[in-house]
Amino acid sequence: MTENPKDGIMTLNEAVSWREELRKAGKKLVITNGCFDLLHRGHAEYMYESRNLGDALLVLTNSDASVRALKGPTRPVIDQYNRAYMLSALASVDAVVIFDAQQCDKELAALAPDIYVKGGDYTIDSLNPVEREVLLKAGTEIVFKPFIPGFSTTTIVERIKNAEK
């Protein structure tokens, strides 16, 4: 973890340089990605478990435009900078990169992680095929972590909407 969470938010080019330093030091990089719109315990545990698989954890998070394209016009609830800041503030997260597409194949190709982690709602077959191909080409180990029951950003947003009625 960085001392100031804002220092953990990197551009892709900064992350690539950081990745090269990790590789030279013989350290394993773990990457995960997602919207992470409202951070909750499920995210925190997912990050903690992901970080324990390697020496450093980098989180790729969708930009605001990307979240809107994926989740609809009312999302994200929290803007991209503040989502990245909150992720970077987690002790288990070493760096965060915001990406602007609906898939992060360009970032995965540039960073070539040692380990890639996705939530338990995914399987090797349901991963984005372009991302999967990039990961397989890089020799990345792909790991799926089960969800903690009862924690989902969409469920939390719906609960808030229903409470307002």
Three-class secondary structure of residue 2 per DSSP: coil
Of 2-16, 18-32, 79-93, 101-115, the poorest mean pLDDT is in 2-16
Q: How far does the chain reach from its first CA to its final CA, in angstroms?
A: 40
Query: What is the reported pLDDT for 1?
Result: 46
The answer to whether residue 148 scores a pLDDT higher than 80 is no
Instruction: Tell me the pLDDT tens digit for each residue of 8-22.
Output: 999 999 999 999 999
The answer to whether residue 97 scores a pLDDT higher than 70 is yes
Identify the structural domains of the chain with CATH numbers, from first to last. 5-164 (3.40.50.620)
- With b meaning 16 or more CB within 10 Å and e meaning fewer, what string describes 63-102? bbebbeeebeeebbbbebeebbbbbbbbebbbbbbbbeee
Q: Stretch 131-145: mean pLDDT, rounded?
A: 97
Q: Which residues contact 161 (CB under 8 A, 6 or more apart)?
A: none
- The most confident of the ranges 12-21, 72-81, 117-126 is 12-21
Query: What is the reported pLDDT for 147?
Result: 75
Query: What is the reported pLDDT for 87?
Result: 97
CA distances from 9 to 1, 94, 111, 143 (A): 11, 9, 15, 24
Query: What is the reported pLDDT for 157?
Result: 73
